[in-house]
Amino acid sequence: MEITRLVDTYLSWPKQALLSINEWGKYRVEGDFDEILITGMGGSGIVGDYVQVLSASKGATPVYVNKSHLIPSFVSEKTLVIIVSYSGNTIESIKALERALKTRGKVVTVSSGGALKDISTRHGLLHVQVPPGLLPRASLPAMLYAILGLLDSSGITIVSKDEALESVAFLEKTTPSCIEIGEEIASWLFEMIRENRLFVIATHSPYDPLAIRGKNEFNENSKLVAKVDIAPEWMHNDIVGYEFPVPSKFAVLEILDPADSVGAKLVEFMDRVYRLLDAQVYRLELKGSTLLERLVYGSLVLGLASVYLGVKRGVDPATTKSIAMYKSEASKIFSS
Ligand code: PA5
């Protein structure tokens, strides 16, 4: 995929989200569920983490996230199991689907096609179609809004259609600033890499999935190793590693929600520790009036920054050779 096409895919996130929102009500499941299990890997699995924090913030149905070929043993007829794989061909997700079919859980699949779609047709499962031809990680809004729509239409409201539409209008309005900040982060990080600094993304709960998503984006689009630090858990383990760290030079991207006074103070505390180690710090303040808006805003900034950084480093952001290498061997690993 050409780089300009990849950048355009990120820049068209508002349109991508709208396509899924236009299908709100098309997909629904009947049932009274005690919990939701979302299973998927990489750029698809992270969607489960986003739905989980959104649900937790609203006190809605508990959402469990599974990033494995295994299925937790709690799955029962009271569990809605959502298997999400953008390609539909990821072995762990196919294995999880096969295992889910052996439980009494209600199973729904989300993909752009592939084996997940075929298996769903064979077993008469509800299959949520997302647009094909994109990279999984660049399809975050398509999968996220499709799942939020499926849940709302099934009587499990985490995000209403109006809230979803408002978040898209917000994303559209803030896209120019996402580009600007994304470019700034990429230039800063490019210099940091030259100084051989280890890249750290630091944040506070509930932005855990945003930091992990950011790490994944820099791994895949920029081919960069990154560490994630999340407060307040960070204060109970990672902090000790920083007493005598190897390597000892850090570039820290601090992400905080300025409206969350406790979160901001936690990041201030982390900042003091990083600065004692002469770390270089870039601070990203999240914009948006809802958690959904802040998550999509942060995701777009980090996605763009990771692509711009990949370009500066002379790597191809779109190609993930090592994942392809793993996938070509994975069926042998899971066949035993
Ligand atoms: O973003 C990516 O390309 C990867 O992280 C993929 O999402 C991951 O390998 C799983 O593939 P899929 O999303 O098609 O299930």
Same structural domain, 111 and 191: no
First-last CA distance in the chain: 34
Sign of CA dihedral 37, 218, 297, 268: positive
Domain stops at, among 107, 127, 159: 159
Q: Distance (Å, rounded) from C-alpha 279 to C-alpha 136? A: 33
Predicted confidence at residue 242, as pLDDT, reads 98
Q: Distance (Å, rounded) from C-alpha 297 to C-alpha 163? A: 15
Same structural domain, 18 and 122: yes
Q: Which domain holds residue 116?
A: 3-159
Strand partners, 226: 199
pLDDT tens profile 299-313: 999 999 999 999 999
d(CA 84, ligand 1 centre) in Å: 10
Residues having CB within 6 Å of any atom of ligand 1: 41-44, 85-87, 90, 93, 135-137, 220, 320, 323
Residue 326 covered by a domain: no
Predicted confidence at residue 60, as pLDDT, reads 80
CA of 84, closest atom in ligand 1: 15
C-beta separation of 295 from 49 below 8 A? no
Predicted confidence at residue 4, as pLDDT, reads 85
Q: Distance (Å, rounded) from C-alpha 37 to C-alpha 72? A: 9
CATH number at residue 281: 3.40.50.10490
pLDDT tens profile 213-233: 999 999 999 999 999 999 999
Sign of CA dihedral 218, 138, 211, 64: negative
pLDDT tens profile 15-26: 999 999 999 999
Calculate mean pLDDT across residues 8-37. 98
Same structural domain, 191 and 146: no
Same structural domain, 102 and 198: no
Same structural domain, 154 and 208: no
Query: Which of 128, 137, 316 for a ligand 1 pocket mutation test, highest count of atoms within 8 Å of Cβ?
Result: 137
Tally of domains within the chain: 2
> What is the 3-state composition of the chain as percent helix, strand, coil, each rounded to the nearest 5?
55, 15, 30
Residue 110 covered by a domain: yes
Domain stops at, among 159, 187, 205: 159
Predicted confidence at residue 5, as pLDDT, reads 87
Same structural domain, 92 and 208: no
Residue 118 covered by a domain: yes
Same structural domain, 140 and 228: no
In this prediction, residue 2 has a pLDDT band, given cuts at 50, 70 and 90, of confident
Taking alpha carbons only, the member of 274, 44, 225, 254 closest to residue 139 is 44
Predicted confidence at residue 336, as pLDDT, reads 67
CA of 41, closest atom in ligand 1: 10
